Amino acid sequence: METYAGTGTSIAVSGRPSEAPKIDENQQETEERVRIIADYGAFMERNPSGGGGQIWDVKCLPYDKGTILDAICLEIVRETDENRLEALKIGALSLADYQDGVGDQPISTLGVDLTSNDPASLNDDDLKALAAKIADNPDRGRFETYKPL
């Protein structure tokens, strides 16, 4: 091991590469994870998946599903703020609503979008028509195949 002497101080030089590039690399990876999570969070705000009532194709996500999950899991380990930790967990669980091969249109357990109409405001005939659509949902079988995932 050499000793470097300069400006009145001396430091041991081990001949190993500096730790600075590794620190820079770790910082860049952390910034990338934070960006991925922020982009996914913004995506979730713009495109709520309906809390498990609909399944969307993974191609809708802003990044590869595994990349998002990896970023979230690594940040969960590091996170100390309870509110942010809970948001990260919800984000990770929400990824289950995105599966391969679903296609351009989401599939739902009910076959109708209940967010567009308040069922309480519908008259009897409209409620019967809504119930018939739910009973005849052509996607029910497909939804059930994805549900366990």
Question: What percentage of the chain carries pLDDT values higher than 90?
Answer: 36
138 pLDDT tier (thresholds 50, 70, 90): low
140 pLDDT tier (thresholds 50, 70, 90): low
Across 125-146, average pLDDT: 71
In a domain, 10, yes or no: no
- Give the residue carrying structure tokens 């990349």: 67
| Burial track 32-48 (b if 16+ CB lie within 10 A, e otherwise) | ebeebbeebbebbeeee
In a domain, 2, yes or no: no
In a domain, 9, yes or no: no
How many domains does the chain divide into?
1
End-to-end CA gap in the chain? 56
Least confident of 6-15, 41-50, 67-76: 6-15
DSSP 60: G
In a domain, 52, yes or no: yes
In a domain, 117, yes or no: yes
Kindly report the backbone phi and psi dihedral angles of residue 35, in degrees, each rounded to the nearest multiple of 5, phi listed first: -65, -45
The 10s digit of each residue's pLDDT in 96-116 is 889 999 888 888 766 666 666
What is the per-residue pLDDT for 6? 40
In a domain, 8, yes or no: no
In a domain, 1, yes or no: no
* Domain boundaries, position 130: 18-146
Q: Which two tokens stand for residue 96?
A: 């289950």
The 10s digit of each residue's pLDDT in 64-101 is 999 999 999 999 998 999 999 999 999 999 998 899 99
In a domain, 78, yes or no: yes
